[in-house]
Structure 1
Amino acid sequence: MTPIARKRLGKILLNGAGILVFLYATFPVYWMVSTGFKANDQIFTTEFIPFPTHFTFDHFARVFTEGVANNSIWLYMRNSAIVALGTVLIGSTFALLSATAIARFRFKGRAPFLIVLLIVQMLPAEGLLIPLYLMVKRVGLGDQLLGLIVTQVALTLPFGIWMLRTFVAAVPKTLEEAAWIDGASRFTTFWKVLFPLVAPGLVATSIFSFITAWNDLVFALYLMSGSEGYTMPVALRYFFDQKGVDWGAIMAGSTLMTLPVVIFFLLVQRRMVSGLVAGAVKG
Structure 2
Amino acid sequence: MTATDKAVAQAPATRRPLAARDAAASARARRTKRLGRIGLNSVALALTVLFLFPVYWMFSTSLKSNSQVLVKDPVFFFTPTFEHYSTATGVDLFWTYVRNSLVVTLAAVLLALLVALAAGFAIARLHFRGRRGMVLVVMMAQMAPWEILIIVMYLNARDAQALNSLVTLIVIYFVMALPFTIWTLRGFIAAVPKELEEAALIDGCTRTQAFFRIIFPLLAPGLMATSLFGFIMAWNEYAMVLVLNKAPEMATLPLWLTQFQTNFGNDWGATMAASSLFTVPVLIVFILLQRRVTGGLSAGAVKG
Q: Give TM-score scaled by structure 2 length.
A: 0.84
Contact 1:103 1:169 in 2 (8 A): yes
Contact 1:42 1:52 in 2 (8 A): no
Within a 5 Å distance, the mapping from 1:81-160 to structure 2 comes to: 81-160=102-181
Contact 1:34 1:52 in 2 (8 A): no
Tell me, in whole angstroms, the C-alpha distance in 2 between the residues paired with 1:103 and 1:134: 36
The CA deviation string for residues 3-51 of structure 1, in whole angstroms up to 9 with x for no partner, is: 33323222221111110111122111111111111222332333233x2
- Structure 1 residues 160 and 253 mapped into 2: Cα distance closer, same or farther (>3 Å)? same
Within a 5 Å distance, the mapping from 1:100-249 to structure 2 comes to: 100-241=121-262, 244-249=265-270
The aligned counterpart of 2:89 is 64
The aligned counterpart of 2:38 is 12
Tell me, in whole angstroms, the C-alpha distance in 2 between the residues paired with 1:36 and 1:115: 46
Where in structure 1 are there 5+ consecutive unaligned residues? none
- Structure 1 residues 196 and 135 mapped into 2: Cα distance closer, same or farther (>3 Å)? farther
Q: After the TM superposition, which of the residue ranges 172-181 and 137-146 deviates more from structure 2?
A: 137-146
SS of aligned partner of 1:143: coil
Tell me, in whole angstroms, the C-alpha distance in 2 between the residues paired with 1:242 and 1:60: 15
- Structure 1 residues 264 and 40 mapped into 2: Cα distance closer, same or farther (>3 Å)? same
Within a 5 Å distance, the mapping from 1:244-255 to structure 2 comes to: 244-255=265-276
* Root-mean-square deviation over aligned CA pairs: 2.2
| Percent of aligned pairs sharing the same letter | 45
Structure 1 position 42 matched with structure 2 position 68: yes
Tell me, in whole angstroms, the C-alpha distance in 2 between the residues paired with 1:126 and 1:13: 41
Contact 2:192 2:298 in 1 (8 A): no
Pairwise CA distance, 1:282 = 4.5
Q: After the TM superposition, which of the residue ranges 7-16 and 39-48 deviates more from structure 2?
A: 39-48
Q: After the TM superposition, which of the residue ranges 54-63 and 184-193 deviates more from structure 2?
A: 54-63
Tell me, in whole angstroms, the C-alpha distance in 2 between the residues paired with 1:212 and 1:151: 12
Where in structure 2 are there 5+ consecutive unaligned residues? 1-26
Letter of the structure 1 residue corresponding to residue 33 of structure 2: K
Tell me, in whole angstroms, the C-alpha distance in 2 between the residues paired with 1:52 and 1:60: 19
The aligned counterpart of 2:283 is 262
Letter of the structure 2 residue corresponding to residue 100 of structure 1: F
Tell me, in whole angstroms, the C-alpha distance in 2 between the residues paired with 1:138 and 1:161: 30
Pairwise CA distance, 1:275 = 6.8
Aligned residues: 278
The CA deviation string for residues 194-243 of structure 1, in whole angstroms up to 9 with x for no partner, is: 11122211110000000101111111221112111111111011223388
Pairwise CA distance, 1:122 = 2.1
Tell me, in whole angstroms, the C-alpha distance in 2 between the residues paired with 1:251 and 1:242: 14
Q: Give TM-score scaled by structure 1 length.
A: 0.89
